[in-house]
Amino acid sequence: KNGRIVIAEVSICSARDVSGNAAYFISSVRDITEERALASQLSYQALHDPLTGLANRALFDDHLFQSRERIARQGGIGAVLLLDLDEFKGVNDTYGHLIGDQLLITIAHRFEKVTRSMDTICRFGGDEFLYLADGLKDASEAKLIGRRLLEALAEPFSFDNIHLEQRASVGIVVWDSSSISMDSVELVQNADASMYEAKRRGHGQLVVFTPEIRQDAVSRFTLDQELRHALAAGEMQMHYQPIIDLTTSKVKGFEALMRWKPPERGWVPPDAFI
């Protein structure tokens, strides 16, 4: 009577007489409005980030899989962009997690406003966001989308008389039907490697993935692991290079230089590991 819509589950069966003719029908009507609403809510929660309301990793992976399948069949270009907020930890350390959460929510809303209808924006976790760009005409469009996301952060943020400027670093990986062999995990890993390369170049930077970036990332990780072993194994040696006054030929001081000589590689120059 009040105009509220009720979702009902209706079951009808016929009752027959001894001759097999339908004598009457028995119907059962059950109100499942609340049940359907709860199911919808649980489905939403399973596929969306509880803080920002953006897609979560599960929904992003599903859309990414569909995009890759579509490009494999029909051709075209897709891209994954990984955005990491620069120095976001400082916001939490200085103003607390409540302001940090409000900043994430506001950033998510700004990203949603510049997200194309066929694309997916996801909170990857912490202060990282994933963007799936679908149906691109060429690779340059991915960079335009990345710049648009960075521009969404240009206006300062204000919360309870707290004014913040926030930038992000963006890594981009682009693929088409010829590079569809990369699986979803590899695509995100490559975007992550590009993002860290962007951070090394300074705040607010954008870098498109190349195989060299991935190789550099692997080399840096391997070097880090080898250095930890070198310290424990005593492979690091301090050498001293004399500083000589050429007018008197006297030693005026020394420069301390760290040297590394792993058994299997020989001398490694300091510019490779410092």
Could you list the active site residues?
A: 127
Chain centre distance of CA 232: 35
19, 165, 235, 260 from 226: Cα distances, Å: 88, 38, 10, 11
Tokens 């400082």 sit on residue: 90
Supply φ then ψ for residue 113, to 5 degrees.
-65, -25
Centre a 10 Å sphere on the Cβ of residue 174 and count the other Cβ atoms it contains.
Answer: 23
Instruction: Determine the Cα–Cα distance for residues 246 and 9; give it in Å rounded to an integer.
Output: 98
DSSP H helices, 116-210, are 140-151, 184-200
DSSP codes joined into one string, 193-208: HHHHHHHHT-TT-EEE
